[in-house]
Structure 1
């Protein structure tokens, strides 16, 4: 079953064969891919768009991803940190902890969920140890994950219609957004380095 979900062609065939229960099946697939982090979310979102179109595909995907994220958050609080370390690995969880340590506000945590590169499913587990309520987490993570989710669904919908111009346009927008963020980060690091060195010299002078 997991092999079928992890394969784009198999997943498209599975969703199409679902008939009247296709919507529930799509929601279930998205839920499973969040809870079982080894299943790539890009494939499931693409398949949802391919089979159901842009808006229905996004709606079903958003419901499944939100439910899965809430489950991970709740599961982390129920089983506790030692059990979670055995499940996903102490080093992996520690890496996410370091990222969350810099998220001193909800807006910073929103950015962590918005940006590519971090494993969002495991990030949901780690967020379970934060001081947020589950409702705050669901709203924050849902809004932050929506742009990337919509982009994957739109690409799938475009491919199903043979509208490759839209596919290319969405892909370029995603790449520009990613590139713009990393350029901004590098610029900020470069600009702050001289100031930090000056502050260090000032402290040394005082000492």
Structure 2
């Protein structure tokens, strides 16, 4: 079957040759790779520019960040803006799924405390996941391919072969340390229903978010014992989750 690109390039009344049909997917893949490189290059360039511009302010910023009272005072003074900024940063991390989410969750717990920090992370997760679902549902691999290679998709191809893909995806989301943000993109590609995806992406992040926000909130309030316990629990969950994930993956491949 001919691709849309091949049909659009063919002259009116002409039948594309077998070589054209064969080269079309290759050309499309090469074009997507070029666009992916451009997107990544622009992102890296912007981050480098921001880093260079902020380099001289880093010592002062670090001194300010380790002063929990100063951070809390700033948050109280800029109540709306600070919360919108945290939600926006969290959403950006979800969009750029190759970036780890734990630092953002820790920052949210540190600045806003356990309850509000957790709530802000869940709100950002719901909004970001909804946008990803809608965009991927509309443009499919043309969008996903800008951030990920086919090998990343094939890594989770086993999920397509299980009859209860939504239940399995929820289990995977609940396991700490799994690539939840990439699975959000993957859910749209395999046709997971939107309500199910939203519930999975929100509920499934709760264990990871809670351990991060508890640790950061306790550290910010000076309760270092609770912070250390939370970090240890998070580490044990990640180790145990890795083992559990391997077992789920192996079982679904059968």
Tell me the TM-score normalised to structure 2 length.
0.63
Unaligned 5+ runs, structure 2 = 1-45, 52-57
Q: Deviations over 1:119-176 (max 9, x none)?
A: 2211111100223221211012211111101111111111111211111221222233
Match of 1:120 in 2: 180
Alignment pair present for 1:158 and 2:229 = no
Are 1:22 and 2:85 an aligned pair?
no
* 2:160 alignment counterpart: 101
The structure 2 residue matched to 1:177, chosen from 237, 246, 250, is 237
CA contact (8 A) 1:49 1:58 kept: yes
**CA–CA separation in structure 2 for the residues paired with 1:147 and 1:11:** 29
Q: Output the aligned Cα RMSD.
A: 3.4
Greater mean deviation of Cα atoms: 111-120 or 47-56: 111-120
- Which SS does the other structure have where 2:147 is aligned? helix
Q: Aligned partners of 1:188, 1:33: CA distance in 2, in Å?
A: 26
Matching residue of 1:64: 124
Aligned length: 188
Of structures 1 and 2, the larger Rg is shown by 2
Deviation at 1:39, TM superposition (A): 3.4
Once residues 183 and 38 of structure 1 are traced to their aligned partners in structure 2, the CA distance between those partners, rounded to angstroms, is: 21
Displacement of 1:57: 0.8
Q: Which runs of 5+ in 1 are unaligned?
A: 197-207
Flag the 1:109–1:11 CA change in 2: closer, same or farther, 3 A.
Answer: farther
Q: Using a 3 Å threshold, how does the CA distance of structure 1 residues 68 and 14 change in structure 2: closer, same or farther?
A: farther
Kept in 2, the 8 Å contact 1:97–1:126? The answer is no
- Secondary structure in 1 aligned to 2:176? coil
Q: For structure 1, which segment, 126-135 or 154-163, has the greater mean C-alpha deviation from structure 2 after superposition?
A: 126-135
Q: Deviations over 1:72-108 (max 9, x none)?
A: 222211111244234311111221333x235532221
Q: In the aligned structure 2, how far is the partner of 1:22 from the partner of 1:45?
A: 15
* 8 Å contact kept, 2:160–2:190: no
